[in-house]
Amino acid sequence: MKTLDRVLSKMGLGSRTEARSWIGEGRVRVNGKVVRTPDAWVNLERDKVSFDGKPLQAAQPVYVLLYKPKGYVTTYKDPDGRPTVYDLLTGLAAFVGTVGRLDLDTSGLLLLTNDHALADRMTSPEYHVEKEYLLKASLLLTEEQLDEMRQSSAGVKKVERVRDSEKYSHVRVVLTEGKNRQVRKMVEDVGAIVLKLVRVRIGPLVIGDLPIGKYRLLTVKEVQQLKVLTKLDADQQSKRKLRLHQGNRALLGRSSRRKRP
């Protein structure tokens, strides 16, 4: 069960804001009746939803990797008029949602997709998807401070010194469970501030030669790696086998009934 606006968004038609507008305009029908309530509950296994008179169909899956620059917000539209990551997706026809977020002052990798099953698993702490960050701290951090950062949360997998300059420490942080501004708070809790923060890796995905402010589509191999990492591929195969098994049982049942004298 999902709300009607979320159903439209998850089908890849547009953002939830756009979906709520379309629903209010009477362009969406559920089981033949116009529904103008975005929060109406819908069961796609039972209900028939149409948009502009056409049955709702899932969009072709699209997987995008963006190198977000500093100064962009991770939202579709910003009420304060700040640039958003969607301003950088020129030439991309399909609507894709962000998988997690990066704050305004953080740059680095951002995954976007209309495959919501994968997106949900990529952001779930259950699957321990690693996110790697490189940061520049406002002072030279001691080993005691680094150790305090390591002990700050169960979702912190690694904190290691990359190098020290004359005044600053450069540190690598790997998280398997991210919370809002977590890396910045970890540094602030040991008495420093983050001067620069870049997310350089999401699971097996790395920046490579992707220019800042640009995006690329994931390869088939990369998509498969993410599905294996989040156990989505195995679960989908199990569901297909279950449906096949149930279908075979139904066929056998009909066959045995026909054979009865």
Q: Mind listing the pLDDT tens digit for each residue in 83-141?
A: 999 999 999 988 899 999 999 999 999 999 999 889 999 999 999 999 999 999 999 99
- Range 2-55 classified under CATH 1.10.1740.10: no
Handedness of CA 7, 12, 15, 20 (dihedral sign): negative
Give the DSSP H or E segment for 172: strand 169-175
Q: Is the pLDDT of residue 249 over 70?
A: no
pLDDT digits (tens, 9 = 90+) for 55-74: 987 778 999 999 999 999 99
Which of 115, 123, 63 shows the shortest CA–CA distance to 89?
63
Q: What CATH number does the domain located at 130-202 have?
A: 3.30.70.1560
Residue-averaged pLDDT of the chain? 89
| Per-residue pLDDT band at 254 (split at 50, 70, 90) | low
Q: How far is CA 59 from CA 8, 14, 56, 103, 222, in A?
A: 10, 11, 9, 28, 20
| Per-residue pLDDT band at 243 (split at 50, 70, 90) | very low
Of the listed ranges 161-165, 193-197, 202-206, 254-258, the least confidently predicted one is 254-258
Q: How far is CA 137 from CA 72, 153, 222, 255, in A?
A: 21, 19, 32, 72
| Per-residue pLDDT band at 244 (split at 50, 70, 90) | very low
| Per-residue pLDDT band at 251 (split at 50, 70, 90) | very low
C-beta of residue 14 within 8 angstroms of C-beta of residue 96 = no
So where are the chain's domains? Answer: 2-55, 130-202
Residues assigned a catalytic role: 103
Percentage of the chain modeled with pLDDT above 70: 90
Residue type, 14: G
Other CB atoms within 10 A of residue 47 CB: 16
C-beta of residue 36 within 8 angstroms of C-beta of residue 24 = yes
Q: How would you class 101 by CB atoms within 10 Å of its CB: exposed for 0-12, middle for 13-18, buried for 19 or more?
A: middle
Structure tokens at 211: 């220019």
* DSSP type of residue 85: G
What is the pLDDT, as a whole number, of residue 140?
98
pLDDT digits (tens, 9 = 90+) for 165-179: 999 999 999 999 878
